Structure 1
Amino acid sequence: MGVLMTAVHAGPALGSAPGWPLVLYFHHVNAHVDHYTALNPDDFRRGLEIVLDGVGPALDPAAVGPGFEPPGHPSVLVTFDDGYRDNLDLAAPLLAEFGVKALLFCVTGKLDAAGRLSAAERAALPPREAYLTWEEAREFAGHGHVLSAHTVHHPHLPDLPPEEAAEEVAGSLRAIGERTGRAPRTFAYPYGLIPSGPSPVPDGVLAFGTVKSAPGPWTRRPRHIRRTYLPVGEVASWTRLALGWRQQWYGSR
């Protein structure tokens, strides 16, 4: 199977289609993680300030799903991938400072495994291996954030046979629904890799990529929604990025 990806779209400066929300993705808020979507707490706070001031207010992720109608002004959807423990311990208090609610795409098998570990085993894990338990994920959701699906095992979906890819997606959607009592309406592709054959994402679910996806109206590309990020170590560029993202919202409108 192939992958829908175009190198020209891989930079963070390209945001959303005109008239549609900017979608940001993070993995960690943690000073001890080296990853292009992992910010230390001070930078994450600064990033929220810049984006909310320079682009627009944050969306309520509970309103995001099929049939979503964008507001008539620039706005931001904040998302996290995988379901790491620092999302609760470090990101959640900062999000609360700004009244921002986030959409957390969970690797459901990792949350299952986290719940089987002892407290000592969990304390010994490095941040990149420290996932939320389901109890902690529900605590995160209790602050007004929304849990959603990111596959069961975080595979490269294009490498799987279509039926296996579809089950990775369906299994994570089921697990989220069972654990939250609410059928999830969104999904995020691991690594931003979207199979080029039949979509593994069922009807009635919006699917989010990364900077590997081209921007487009969600109504036209409901399974290829572009997300972007704040480049680590480049805080001085963020105000300019935010201005560009806001200008892109207006486009040719």
Structure 2
Amino acid sequence: MNADPTLGSAPGWPLVLYFHHVNALVDHYTALTPDGFRRALETVLSEVGPALDPAGIGPGFRPPDHPGVLLTFDDGYRDNLEIAAPLLAEFGVKVLLFCVTGELDAADRLSDAERAALPPRRSFLTWAEADRFAALGHVLSAHTVGHPKLPELGHREAAEEIATSLDRIRARTGEPARTFAYPYGLIPERPAVLAGVLAFGTVKSPPTSWAHRPLHIRRTYLPADEGERWARLAIGWREQWFGSQ
């Protein structure tokens, strides 16, 4: 396992980045301030390549013949809509949003006052807000029901966590969920993801082609507290795309 973010994707395959928050109040290695996120988008789009449309991501995906990047967000936090979405719109970028469906269900049950009192790390989208996010051209997908560490569950329980979240997304959007992200990037030894789904890990996954290992797709990140490295990281990720050339 190589958890170093400098290792991007397999040669010829898109770079995939993951974020959690765009929020100045959150201290997390994948949480950026609004200004930081704007600079991240500028850096990646200029140094790596254009953003992929998440609507085209699914089984059978064929990569473009040039470097590009797929942006993803995990969990489904409220600031993804309120803060990240306007910045994404500035650049015309769409993202895959991997939702912890049980948290969105729980957000629906809270009053406005209860939601206003939550810290950003506990403030999730409601389903109506997730619909608004999707209406902007972003794609909702699944990240389990309760965000467990799947390898610590039995196979049946892990498979149920995954399948139930995929079904919840399909019921809400009217479209099959074609992608899934493992909580914590932890992948069970025994496959628990349904056929017809691409599954994304984190920096804990190796950089292999999506065609070869469609359930172990590597994602990496821009370290929130190391902004001086971002340009070098992005240049390196682009160079890695040419590794097979």
TM-score (norm 2): 0.99
Paired residues for 1:1-253 under 5 Å: 6=1, 9-197=2-190, 199-253=191-245
Q: Structure 2 CA distance, aligned partners of 1:104 and 1:62?
A: 11
3-state SS in 2 of match to 1:251: helix
Q: Structure 2 CA distance, aligned partners of 1:162 and 1:46?
A: 42
Q: Structure 2 CA distance, aligned partners of 1:28 and 1:72?
A: 31
Query: Structure 2 stretches of 5 or more lacking a match?
Result: none
Q: Structure 2 CA distance, aligned partners of 1:62 and 1:34?
A: 30
Q: State the partner residue of 1:3.
A: none
3-state SS in 1 of match to 2:244: coil
Instruction: Return structure 1 stretches of 4+ with deviation > 6 angstroms.
Output: none
The alignment yields a C-alpha RMSD, in angstroms, of 0.4
Amino acid at match of 1:192: G
Q: Structure 1 CA distance, aligned partners of 2:12 and 2:63?
A: 7
Q: Structure 2 CA distance, aligned partners of 1:181 and 1:60?
A: 19
3-state SS in 2 of match to 1:175: helix
The count of corresponding residues between Structure 1 and Structure 2 is 245
**Cα distance, 1:252 vs. partner?**
2.5
3-state SS in 2 of match to 1:183: coil
**Cα distance, 1:25 vs. partner?**
0.1
Query: Structure 1 stretches of 5 or more lacking a match?
Result: 1-5
Q: Structure 2 CA distance, aligned partners of 1:216 and 1:223?
A: 10
3-state SS in 2 of match to 1:31: coil
TM-score (norm 1): 0.96
Q: Structure 1 CA distance, aligned partners of 2:26 and 2:226?
A: 16
Q: Structure 2 CA distance, aligned partners of 1:223 and 1:120?
A: 40
Bigger shift: 137-146 or 231-240? 231-240
Amino acid at match of 2:42: E
**Cα distance, 1:235 vs. partner?**
1.1
**Cα distance, 1:236 vs. partner?**
1.1
3-state SS in 2 of match to 1:187: strand
Q: Structure 2 CA distance, aligned partners of 1:234 and 1:47?
A: 11
**Cα distance, 1:106 vs. partner?**
0.1
